[in-house]
Amino acid sequence: AQSVTQLGSHVSVSEGALVLLRCNYSSSVPPYLFWYVQYPNQGLQLLLKYTSAATLVKGINGFEAEFKKSETSFHLTKPSAHMSDAAEYFCAVSERNTDKLIFGTGTRLQVFP
């Protein structure tokens, strides 16, 4: 069965610092992997997705993630945090040829001035 583990339910960084949100997945077949962001009182919005093209995926708002099969990881990074990045971030996995997503438990990012 597929699963996703997000390490750290809360991450705090200073404005301008590196953002690193960790995600490890478990899947018996090559997966599709996603990062979604949820701003306060809003639905989920896709940040980026990996569907078997380049292993380094660039998303919106300067975020990127790298698919590392050997480490079963898909960590989300941003070189320089902005106050507007404060939100909850969800990693998700699905099997290829299906769009049933399994979500991680989420990581809340706080950005301090």
Partner 1 sequence: DADVTQTPRNRITKTGKRIMLECSQTKGHDRMYWYRQDPGLGLRLIYYSFDVKDINKGEISDGYSVSRQAQAKFSLSLESAIPNQTALYFCATSDFRIAGPDTGELFFGEGSRLTVL
Nearer to partner 1, 3 or 14 (CB): 3
- Distance in Å from the first CA to the final CA of the chain: 41
Report how many residues bind partner 1 under the rule CB under 8 A.
Answer: 22
Closest CA to 33 of 105, 92, 113: 92
- Cβ closest to partner 1, residue 15 vs residue 59: 59
Considering beta carbons, is residue 14 or 98 the nearer one to partner 1? 98
**Tokens 């990012």 -> residue:** 109
Give, as ranges, the residues between 36 and 95 that touch partner 1 (CB under 8 A): 41-46, 49, 51, 90, 94
Stretch that binds partner 1, among 22-30, 59-67, 77-85, 102-110 (CB under 8 A): 102-110
14 makes contact with partner 1 (CB under 8 A): no
Distance of CA 85 to CAs 29, 42, 45, 93, 109, Å?
32, 14, 13, 22, 7
In angstroms, the CA 47 to CA 64 distance is 9
CA 18 to chain centre: 15
Residue in 7, 9, 12, 16 binding partner 1, rule: CB under 8 A:
9
Binding site for partner 1 (CB under 8 A): 9, 32, 34, 41-46, 49, 51, 90, 94, 97-101, 103-106
